[in-house]
């Protein structure tokens, strides 16, 4: 979620920012006739997708301040972030998923990843200290802390806080990049929006922080490098207001790594970047692209399995606006598909097409391209993706120029504005789709389609979606 709307939680009134929508029906399946919008909290889907289970938020990660965020997986467990902490779910039988433990440790966004027995959390809000008992410290001139927290989860029923590492401007997201000998985890920490009024987040902030974690001695974790990625300052932005403006680059929102190929793709506000990460502590730009006519905020990135394409997302409206409507259209708040052409330092990101859901949403539903993952079908490029209250979409970009819909599932507008929000992350793992909803908790979804069913035979032991590996060898 963009910093411009970090304080947003549940309901958004798009009328307040001047965006309108048309009452155009939802298609429940390819070729189906138009129908009315789904009712409040009503779940609708294409015939090939089914909602199996929802586990709503529960204490202590419920109520004021609770917002579901990202997901990591290991074995038969899912680790789900929340602005108030994180939850460990047992997903051995996905249809009977259950909570194993919950950790109360406030600090947005609590973006999460896992390596072995270690869980890493991002804190991108100024806190009074680095403990799990801290309180908000909004005055940037007073003492505060933000950065990375590390937990030992060897006992899933009783996670243990191990270490905190402070980083400049906090940690909005982080990306786990293993060292080549797999003895060290490097965390590429993305943060942005510096201000002269914030003592530890001064402009310019054209860099990332790289936290080095010795896996056998996580207490020795430290900031090992702070490489400047944009010595030229990056995209200056155009100063235009929503919905037509482009963000200035003051850091990165998210980075996805493909360590086996020594590649990373940076979604950096006003820029999309391809990096060489053969030297883990010194990412080096290979190519950079901008799209000021269509992209407002480069939010996240996904490689295809071959590492020959990148899907970038545009978080138009910061995750708090209803951008899935006729007025905004199909080329903003969308995915941008880029082929990687050439070799070595001559590789280029070449734009091929946009992809966006075609189910128009009401003006009470925030909707924009958000977090997703590949569905591991050998020889195909298929992705499942969250669109906040636009639901979850499965789509095929094997032909970069002609992406195709496969299936979807979504809820209607929230009956209770305090439990709205939509899917933040929708990821495929070992046969099922798992979704972290901002307000409604954890969802389990199945898909039965000949185009995706081969993925059911692919098993993974660990999955951090922003750390991609090759499947189908």
Written as six digits, the tokens of 222 are 């430290």
Tens digit of each residue's pLDDT, the chain (473 residues): 543 333 332 223 332 323 222 222 333 333 333 447 899 999 999 999 999 999 999 999 999 999 999 999 999 999 999 999 999 999 999 999 999 999 999 999 999 999 999 999 999 999 999 999 999 999 999 999 999 999 999 999 999 999 999 999 999 999 999 999 999 999 999 999 999 999 999 999 999 999 999 999 999 999 999 999 999 999 999 999 899 999 999 999 999 999 999 999 999 999 999 999 999 999 999 999 999 999 999 999 999 999 999 999 999 999 999 999 999 999 999 999 999 999 999 999 999 999 999 999 998 899 999 999 999 999 999 999 999 999 999 999 999 999 999 999 999 998 888 788 899 999 999 999 999 999 999 999 999 999 999 999 999 999 999 999 999 86
Q: Which of 78, 178, 253 is nearest to 467 (CA)?
A: 178
Task: Place domain 3-463 in its CATH homologous superfamily.
Answer: YVTN repeat-like/Quinoprotein amine dehydrogenase (2.130.10.10)
Give 180's DSSP letter.
T
For 404, left (φ over 0), alpha (ψ -120 to 50), or beta? beta
By residue count, the chain amounts to 473
379 Cα distance to chain centroid: 25
The CA-CA-CA angle for residues 404, 271, 405, to 5°, reads 10
Predicted TM-score (pTM) of this structure: 0.93
Q: Are 110 and 82 in contact (CB under 8 A)?
A: yes
Nearest-angstrom CA–CA distance, 274 and 334: 19
Say if CB 148 and CB 187 are below 8 A apart: yes
Which ranges constitute the DSSP H helices of 319-428? none
Question: Which H or E run includes 210?
Answer: strand 209-214
81's enclosing H/E stretch is strand 77-82
Report, in angstroms and rounded to the nearest whole number, the Rg of the chain calculated over CA atoms.
20
Domain ranges of the chain: 3-463
């Amino acid at each position: 979620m963009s910093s411009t709307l970090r304080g947003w939680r549940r309901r958004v009134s798009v009328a307040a920012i001047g965006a309108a929508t048309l009452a155009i029906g939802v298609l429940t399946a390819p070729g189906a006739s138009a129908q009315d919008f789904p009712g409040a909290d009503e779940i609708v889907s294409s015939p090939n997708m089914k909602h199996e289970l929802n586990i709503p938020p529960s204490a202590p990660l419920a109520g004021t301040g609770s917002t579901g965020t990202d997901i990591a997986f290991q074995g038969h467990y899912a680790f789900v972030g929340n602005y108030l902490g994180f939850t460990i779910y047992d997903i051995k039988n996905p249809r009977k998923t259950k909570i194993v433990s919950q950790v109360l440790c406030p600090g947005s966004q609590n973006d999460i990843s896992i390596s072995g027995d270690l869980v890493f959390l991002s804190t991108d809000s100024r806190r009074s200290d680095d403990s799990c008992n801290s309180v908000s410290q909004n005055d940037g001139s007073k003492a505060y802390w933000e950065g990375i927290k590390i937990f030992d989860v060897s006992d899933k029923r009783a996670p243990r806080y191990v270490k905190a590492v402070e980083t400049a401007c906090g940690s909005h997201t982080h990306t786990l990049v293993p060292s080549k000998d797999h003895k060290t985890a490097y965390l590429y920490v993305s943060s942005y929006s510096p201000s002269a009024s914030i003592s530890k987040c001064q402009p310019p902030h054209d860099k990332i922080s790289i936290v080095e974690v010795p896996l056998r001695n996580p207490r020795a974790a430290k900031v090992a490098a702070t490489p400047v990625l944009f010595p030229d300052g990056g995209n200056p932005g155009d100063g235009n207001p929503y919905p037509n403006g482009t963000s200035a680059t003051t850091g990165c929102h998210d980075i996805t790594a493909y360590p086996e190929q020594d590649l990373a793709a940076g979604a950096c506000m006003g820029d999309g970047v391809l990096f060489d990460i053969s030297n883990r502590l010194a990412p080096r730009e290979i190519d950079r692209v901008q799209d000021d006519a269509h992209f407002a905020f480069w939010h996240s990135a996904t490689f295809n399995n071959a590492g020959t394409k990148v899907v970038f997302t545009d978080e138009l409206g910061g995750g708090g606006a209803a951008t899935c409507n006729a007025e905004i259209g199909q080329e903003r708040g969308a995915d941008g598909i880029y082929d990687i052409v050439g070799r070595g330092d001559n590789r280029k990101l070449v734009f091929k097409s946009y992809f966006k859901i075609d189910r128009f949403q009401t003006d009470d539903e925030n909707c924009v391209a958000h977090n997703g993952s590949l569905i591991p079908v050998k020889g195909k490029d298929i992705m499942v993706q969250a669109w906040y209250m636009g639901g979850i979409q499965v789509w095929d970009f094997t032909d970069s120029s002609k992406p195709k819909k496969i299936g979807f599932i979504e809820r209607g507008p929230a009956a209770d504005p305090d439990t709205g929000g939509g899917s933040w992350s929708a990821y495929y793992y070992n046969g099922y789709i798992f979704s972290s909803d901002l307000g409604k908790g954890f969802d389990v979804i199945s898909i039965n389609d000949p185009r995706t069913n081969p993925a059911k035979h692919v098993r993974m032991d660990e999955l951090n979606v922003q750390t991609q590996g090759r499947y189908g060898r």
